[in-house]
Amino acid sequence: MSGRIINPMALVAGLSLLGARTALAAPMQCSGEEKTCRAVCVKYTNRAQVDACVAGCRASLVYCQHTGCWDNGGSRYCGLMRK
């Protein structure tokens, strides 16, 4: 796997699945999804990758605030609280 770049949105989708149990306990919010997305972004060592990842998080947040659905490019789920 050396030399491969992992798609940040796929990574966010995978991390979201790990937290699926806790998501059922309390309503999820768009802003919480963005925080999770950004937490993944800061793990990159290449500044260009970090910037692209954060831009993707912002775009997903705007979409979520308008629709109530988080779309990270790999999966889409709805029913989120918009604030």
Per-residue pLDDT tens over the stretch 30-56: 888 999 999 999 999 999 999 999 999
pTM of the model: 0.63
pLDDT in tens, 59-74: 999 999 999 999 877 8
Q: What are phi and psi of 80, to 5 degrees?
A: -85, 150
CA distance linking residue 55 with residue 37, whole number of Å: 10
Please report how many Cα atoms fall inside a 13 Å half-sphere around the Cα of residue 1, on the Cβ side. 2
